[in-house]
Chain A
Amino acid sequence: MSAIATEAGLAGTVSRGRAGLIRQAIRERKAAALGLGIIAFFVILAIAAPLIAPYSTTARSCAVFAPPSASHWLGCDDGGIDMLSEIISGGRISLIIGFAATLIAMLIGGGVGIASGYFGRWLDIALMRITDYLLVIPDLAFAMVIADVWGPSLSHVIAVIAILEWATTARIIRAQVMSVKERVYIKRARSIGAGHARIIGRHILPQVGPLLMANTVLTVAVAIYLETALAFLGLEDPSTTTWGTILEHAFNRAAVSAGAWWAIVPDGLVITLLIMGCFLLGQAIEDALNPRLRVAHLSSRRWALRPLAGRGPDAI
């Protein structure tokens, strides 16, 4: 099912991979620039965390569940620790988990997708059965089981998320490679004696690059979502502070009944904001890669007498 959906959707997609496509997408679309801005903001915040965080994240600096005040902008948690500092340093680990897991997932997914699409035959069949399994298995349940059996630690969480999230990418890249490898210029390259490594490196990789980028950004969002979910269920190293464990602490130490919304809302909002940023950027790159959507924009049906869909200049 999933295979049909992604492959059918991509059959008519991207014809020319252009390195400047992503830059162009960002220039042309407000949403892409906004998404990139959000991601950049959090990356800078994570890198500079020790310099920015106003208080320690281990020593108490105010009263239990102290509400927001001039000295503690986001109030304090159940241990009297400054929330703002916790969120700033928690983002560090959440981002490390998100990016590391995504990097591994993209290496596996890209590799499997290219190998499967380029070499085909039994390799394709074998690899696609594995992705089929990973695509239907319930992510969170699987992650819970593995995280529990392996034991809670940062590297385990990264590994679990990476193992779970490469399959979609492999599928999409495979479909793209299968269509690219039939192009005439690749056949020509082969006829003048180019080896597999050269064809893949020089001709196929640049074609799937932008698509891989879009997927990377979207996978970061999923990875961070999974990280916070696992942490919320108590399956992360309890000694670390991440955006996920902050919510877990708030929930387990009765922040709700104490009325301490500041222990929950700001943290939830930063997670949401980052996921939204990834979604906006990833979606914009995908849209830029899909010429079908462009055709719809430039539809000759603009002369329609009475707008059917929408009002104003956007009307079809």
Chain B
Amino acid sequence: MRGADYVIRRAGFALLTIFVAITINFFLFRVLPGTVVSDLARVPHATPQLRHALTVEFGLAKPKWEQYLIYLRELAKGNMGISFATQQPVSQLLLNDLKNTIPMVTIGTLGAIVVGIATGILSAWRRGSASDHVSTNLAIAFYAFPTQFLGLMLLILLGGLLPTSGMENPYAGVFGPQSTMARLQDIGLHLILPALTLLLTLYGEFTLIMRSSMLETLGEDYVLTARAKGLTDRRVIARHAVRNALLPIATLVALSIGWIVGGAILVEYIFSWPGIGQALWQAINQRDYPMLQGGFLILAVSVVLLNLLADLAYFKLDPRISG
């Protein structure tokens, strides 16, 4: 069967990378001198019982190599320790944050891909025209805008019209219960600015890649053949050129996942979106090391898994890859 080998190899590689990420994560935090960072049991204001329980649970009195094995074991059970700031399990807190991050990032990224592909196709089709120049230069500009600057600009320009902070109106439920519909609408309004910022920072690169990929495809022999058959421009583009020109976009999406996460952290910080990027930032400010360690690990693992997904999608899209 085509590709069983390929799939296994990519999955194996992803697992290896996750393992490396976990190991580096352990070394970054636990093997440092001093106990401020490395001692998971130093939860401020905790009872001696809780501290003792954590010390036993993570084997903090044992040698480092044994701690590493225990860390792996506890991680496998989903145990990432107790947050210094809230004294709640880290994994539960981060899971909640992840639930908030995913819709915002998905909408922003998908929007960027759609806008990028559309403008890229138009640019390539009308190559050399004024609309091509405008669209290409805009793409370069948006590609170069720092995410935080774009976010601040949108705050200035649209701050009066749309909610600028958080995920929902904190007073909405105060004067009686809120219907699900109203709540979703509220969240949707709050989502516009962060998602739009992410969309704008990401779309430029997609436009540029799509444009050059389309131009390359339009020079291929089968496009000439399609034209020779007398097909219209529109049909040649839609049926023959775009499909093949889309391949580099799949690669680019895979390569940009780490970048998208970085953008999401900045966006969540600016708009106080209660997601995982915001949690990471708060963990740094509150010296909440278990949260920081857990948050980083979750981001790293998500990126590796999404990369694997993109790899497999690319494999499905391009029959020329044989593994």
Residue numbers of A with Cβ under 8 A of B are 1-2, 4-5, 129, 132-133, 135-142, 144-146, 148-149, 221, 225, 228-229, 232-235, 247, 250-251, 256, 261, 264-265, 267-268, 271-273, 275-276, 279-280, 292-293, 296, 299, 301, 304, 308-316
- Contact A311 B126, CB 8 Å, known A140-B261, A265-B153: yes
Q: Shortest Cβ distance from B173 into chain A, in angstroms?
A: 26
Interface positions of B from 263 to 280, Cβ below 8 Å from A: 265-266, 269-270, 277, 280
Instruction: Pick the residue among B17, B28, B143, B258 that contacts A138 (CB under 8 A).
Output: B258
A148 and B300 contacting across the interface, CB-CB below 8 Å = no
Residue B307 CB within 8 A of the other chain: yes
B59 to chain A, nearest CB (A): 22
Within 8 A of A (CB), among B14-56: 16-17, 20-21, 24, 28-29, 32, 37
> Which residue of the partner chain B has the closest CB to A133?
B20
CA distance A121 to B304 in the complex (A): 26
Asked if B148 and A139 sit within 8 Å, CB to CB, the answer is no
**The one of B16, B149, B212, B292 that contacts A145, using a Cβ cutoff of 8 Å:** B292
Check A149 against B28 for contact (C-beta < 8 Å): yes
Q: Which residues of A contact B266 (CB under 8 A)?
A: 140, 229, 232-233
Which of B96-104, B110-118, B175-183, B216-224 lies at the binding interface?
Answer: B216-224
- Given A149-B37, A228-B148, A308-B233, 20 more A-B residue pairs with CB atoms under 8 Å apart are A1-B251, A2-B254, A133-B21, A135-B255, A136-B258, A136-B307, A137-B258, A140-B262, A141-B261, A141-B300, A145-B296, A228-B146, A229-B147, A251-B270, A268-B146, A275-B146, A276-B144, A279-B140, A279-B144, A316-B127
| In the complex, residue of chain A having the shortest beta-carbon distance to the beta carbon of B216 | A296
Do A271 and B149 form a contact, CB below 8 Å, given A2-B255, A141-B262, A279-B143?
A: yes
Cβ of B310 within 8 Å of any chain A Cβ, yes or no, is yes
Residues of B within 8 A of A235 (CB): 284
Q: B280 — which chain A residues lie within 8 A by C-beta?
A: 141, 144
Whether A247 touches B215, Cβ cut-off 8 Å, given contacts A140-B261, A144-B265, is no
Tell me how far the C-beta of B196 lies from the nearest C-beta in chain A, rounded to whole angstroms: 16
A265–B281 CA distance with the chains assembled, in angstroms: 24
Contact A133 B219 (CB under 8 A): no
Contacts of A315 in B (CB 8 A): 127-128
Report B131-184 residues with CB < 8 Å from chain A CB. 132, 140-141, 143-149, 152-153, 155-156, 159
A149: chain B residues at CB < 8 Å are 28-29, 32, 37
- Provide the residues of chain B in CB contact with A5, threshold 8 Å: 251, 254-255
Contacts of A144 in B (CB 8 A): 265, 280-281, 284, 296
The reply to whether B127 and A309 form a contact with Cβ atoms under 8 Å apart is yes
CB-based contact A247/B152 at 8 Å: yes
- In the bound complex, residues from chain A placing their C-beta under 8 Å from that of B310 are 1
Chain A residue with the shortest CB-CB distance to B29: A149
Q: Which chain A positions have C-beta within 8 A of B73?
A: none
In the complex, B299 has a CB within 8 A of chain A: yes
Output the nearest chain B residue to A273 by Cβ-Cβ distance.
Answer: B144
- B261–A146 CB distance below 8 A: no
* Residue of A with least CB distance to B212: A293
**Are A256 and B300 neighbours in the complex by a CB distance under 8 Å?**
no
The answer for the CA separation of A304 and B236 in the assembled complex, in Å, is 14
Interface string of B223-265 (1 = CB under 8 A from A): 1100100000100100000000000000100110111011001
Q: Is A145 a contact partner of B303 (Cβ separation < 8 A)?
A: no
Partner of B153, one of A132, A268, A299, A311: A268
Q: How far is the CA of A293 from the CA of B216 in the complex (A)?
A: 8
B residues 73-118 touching A (CB-CB < 8 Å) = none
Indicate if the CB atoms of A308 and B152 lie closer than 8 Å. Answer: no
A1's partner among B29, B128, B265, B314 (CB-CB below 8 A) is: B314
Residue of A nearest to B204 (CB): A279
A147 to chain B, nearest CB (A): 9
Chain A residues, Cβ within 8 Å of B37: 149
> Which of A135, A137, A273, A310 has a CB less than 8 Å from the CB of B300?
A137
